């Protein structure tokens, strides 16, 4: 697994301080992007939380996911969550180390005592002493939240800083992009009341240290969700139910549980239904906590391949460059408004947003059924440059390995020649990857190379510095 190291510099560690008037939760920020450019320690909010204990437990849940590996309980360095200020809300995001769970806490306007938030994205320090302090927080005494350095720290930013150096797996970076692509196709599948939500979530199996529960299915039944042994009509995929244990932190504050997923289940060989990704949103006073699960516990978002078509489209790349300058950290992105500003069609704007999502520059909120703007505080484009299938496909194009013949193409890869056919607008390949996944995890490198050539990629000219090991990897990667 390719890793990069990210150095996070904080003015001081985040801390929860008590006082006679309540408490102060100071969350320290690292370098990030704002409307005025890069800032070493941006400030996004200073005001009171309307539900302090709920916010504390929600933040702990996001930190729990950042510290978790659901397929391997081996201890690992804590990865600090990402925080985005969108003007009317704060979004705290994290990914599990195994890349199979995406967590987001949205603290909405009504959860921030009416205060406006700044705009931008950065990392926020969530250290072990802070986690312990947050877990001990009880009652609803006034709690002042500060995201960014306080006035005293602002005057001494040239002094010493607290620095963390954390490894960032490239697959973790790609996970943000893949989760956005997956959730953009979700619909609301079920909604439970607070009582039923507590009953259902507490009935799920608990983690045993290593993932062992596989995929389960549930079906809406009256006011609750009923387990079923197979994916019957209307069933909702619940892959790795023990991964929802994190939601237990906020159950006592829940007002509802909403479940989102694709309208139709995934197809497996023989016409049976396969596991799919789903999103589980706990509605809280003034905020929402959402966990999005990958289709299988041992299958992280980073390998899904849903972003590859967008990465291979030159038109979308050019459109994305135009759309990116029109974004302003909006909490809800309106494609029609962007179309009017850019002169593009709504369809091209949506394609550009998918492209921007592959670099982590937009996310998708299933509750709003809309994209939102953020700028990840690391080299998100690295995920594109080092995506194994994308790099391999560009290598095939550069080597002139693609031969077109109407709706059929031949791709020479190593000592073998693969046939790629266009069937109703979808490319099918004779390689093992296609046979195993039937397109359920994005195109194989051969189909991707064919798509590039048909869209005008120059054969025999390399557009990227190729990663030789990635190009030589297995035929489906």
Token look-up 């306007």 returns 109
Mark 308-329 as b/e (b = at least 16 C-beta within 10 Å).
bbbbbbeebbebbebbbeebeb
* 8 Å CB contact between 163 and 206: no
Q: Report yes or no on 438 lying in a domain.
A: yes
Dihedral angle at the C-alpha atoms of 388, 92, 277, 135, nearest 10 degrees?
A: 120
- pLDDT band at residue 271, thresholds of 50, 70 and 90? very low
Cα–Cα nearest to 368, from 120, 183, 110, 112: 183
For the stretch 229-246, pLDDT in tens is: 788 888 999 988 989 999
Of the pLDDT bands very low, low, confident and very high (cuts 50, 70, 90), residue 126 is very high
Instruction: Give the pLDDT confidence of 357-379 residue by residue, as tens digits.
Output: 877 889 999 999 999 999 887 66
Got the DSSP string for 19-41? Answer: ETTEEEEEE-B-SEEETTEEESS
The tally of domains found in the chain comes to 3
Does some domain include residue 297? Answer: no
Q: Which residues contact 133 (CB under 8 A, 6 or more apart)?
A: 15, 16
Rounded-to-integer distance, Cα 372 and Cα 117, Å: 15
Residue 397 shares a structural domain with residue 461: yes
The pLDDT value recorded for residue 125 is 93
Least confident of 118-127, 163-172, 234-243, 359-368: 163-172
Q: Are residues 397 and 458 in the same domain?
A: yes
Residues 442 and 340 placed together within one structural domain of the fold: no
The confidence score (pLDDT) of residue 7 equals 80
Give the whole-number percent of the chain exceeding pLDDT 70: 80
Q: What is the C-alpha to C-alpha distance for residues 217 and 229, in angstroms, rounded to an integer? A: 7
Which H or E element spans position 373? strand 370-373
Q: Is 143 part of a structural domain of the chain?
A: yes
| 322 shares a domain with 444 | no
Q: Is residue 251 part of a domain?
A: no
Q: Given a cut of 60, is residue 307 above it in pLDDT? A: no
> What pLDDT score was predicted for residue 213?
58
Predicted local distance difference test score (pLDDT) of residue 327:
92
Q: What is the pLDDT of residue 211?
A: 46
161 and 81 within one domain = yes
Kind and range of the H or E element at 264?
none
Closest of 127, 104, 99, 119 to residue 383, by C-alpha? 99
Segment 279-302 shows an average pLDDT of: 90
111 within domain boundaries: yes
Q: Roughly how many angstroms between the first and final C-alpha of the chain, as a whole number?
A: 13
Mean pLDDT score of the chain, rounded to an integer? 81
Q: What b-and-e string marks burial along 43-81, b requiring 16 or more CB atoms within 10 Å of the CB? A: bbbbeebbbbbbbbbbbbbbbbbbbbbbbeeeeeebbbb
Burial class (CB in 10 A: 0-12, 13-18, 19+), 160: exposed
Supply the pTM of this predicted model.
0.81
Q: Are residues 318 and 461 in the same domain?
A: no
* Residue 406 and residue 348 share a domain: no
Arithmetic mean of pLDDT, 41-59: 94
What's residue 84's pLDDT? Answer: 96
Mean pLDDT is lowest, of 45-49, 382-386, 452-456, for 382-386
In a domain, 242, yes or no: no
Residue 320 included in any domain: yes
Angle between helices 314-324 and 335-342 (to 10 degrees): 90
Residues 163 and 31 in one domain: yes
Q: Looking at the structure, do residues 352 and 408 belong to the same domain, yes or no?
A: no
CA angle 303, 306, 383 (to 5 degrees): 60
- Assess whether 354 and 415 both reside in one domain: no
Q: What is the pLDDT of residue 304?
A: 46
Predicted confidence (pLDDT) per residue in 337-348, tens digit: 999 999 999 988
Cβ contact 307:392 at 8 Å: no
Q: Which residue has the higher pLDDT, 335 or 97?
A: 335
Helix intervals (H) in 330-373: 335-342, 346-358
Residue-range definition of the domain harbouring residue 433? 387-471
454 and 318 in one domain?
Answer: no
pLDDT at residue 134 greater than cutoff 90 = yes
34 in any annotated domain: yes
């Amino acid at each position: 697994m390719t890793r990069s190291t990210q150095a996070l510099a904080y003015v001081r560690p985040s801390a929860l301080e008590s006082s006679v008037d309540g408490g102060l939760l100071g969350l320290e920020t690292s370098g990030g992007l704002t409307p005025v450019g890069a800032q070493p320690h941006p400030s996004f909010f200073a005001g009171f939380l309307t539900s302090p204990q709920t916010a504390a437990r929600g933040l702990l849940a996001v930190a729990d996911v950042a510290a978790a590996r659901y397929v391997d309980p081996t201890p690992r360095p804590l990865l600090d969550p990402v925080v985005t200020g969108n003007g009317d809300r704060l979004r705290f995001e994290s990914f599990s180390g195994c890349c199979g769970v995406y967590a987001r806490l949205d603290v909405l306007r009504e959860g921030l005592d009416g205060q406006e938030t700044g705009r931008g994205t950065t990392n926020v320090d969530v250290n072990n002493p802070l986690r312990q302090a947050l877990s001990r927080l009880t009652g609803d005494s006034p709690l002042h939240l500060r995201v960014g350095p306080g006035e005293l720290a602002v005057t001494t930013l040239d002094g010493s800083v607290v620095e963390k150096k954390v490894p960032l797996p490239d697959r973790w970076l790609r996970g943000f992009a893949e989760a956005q692509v997956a959730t953009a196709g979700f619909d609301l599948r079920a909604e439970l009341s607070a009582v039923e939500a507590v009953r259902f979530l507490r009935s799920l199996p608990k983690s045993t240290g290593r993932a062992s529960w596989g995929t389960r299915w549930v079906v809406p039944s009256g006011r609750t969700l009923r387990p079923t042994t197979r994916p019957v009509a209307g069933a909702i995929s619940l892959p790795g139910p023990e991964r929802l244990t994190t939601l237990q932190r906020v159950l006592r504050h829940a007002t509802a549980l909403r479940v989102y997923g694709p309208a139709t289940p995934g197809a497996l060989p023989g016409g049976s239904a396969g596991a799919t990704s789903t999103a589980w949103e706990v509605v809280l006073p003034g905020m929402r906590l959402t966990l999005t699960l990958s289709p299988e516990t041992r299958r992280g978002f980073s390998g899904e391949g849903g972003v590859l078509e967008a990465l291979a489209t030159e038109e979308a790349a050019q459109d994305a460059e135009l759309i990116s300058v029109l974004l302003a950290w909006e909490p809800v992105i309106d494609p029609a408004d962007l179309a009017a500003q850019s002169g593009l069609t709504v369809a091209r704007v949506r394609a550009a947003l998918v492209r921007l999502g592959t670099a982590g520059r937009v996310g998708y909120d299933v509750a709003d059924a809309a994209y939102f703007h953020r700028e990840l505080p690391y080299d998100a484009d690295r995920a594109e440059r080092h995506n194994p299938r994308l790099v391999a496909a560009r290598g095939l194009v550069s080597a002139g390995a693609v031969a077109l013949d109407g709706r059929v193409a031949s791709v020479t890869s190593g000592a073998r020649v693969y046939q790629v056919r266009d069937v109703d607008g979808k490319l099918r390949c004779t390689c093992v990857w296609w046979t195993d996944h039937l397109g359920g995890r994005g195109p194989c490198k051969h189909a991707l190379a064919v798509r590039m050539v048909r869209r005008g990629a120059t054969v025999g000219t390399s557009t990227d510095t190729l990663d030789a090991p990635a190009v030589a990897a297995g035929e489906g990667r």
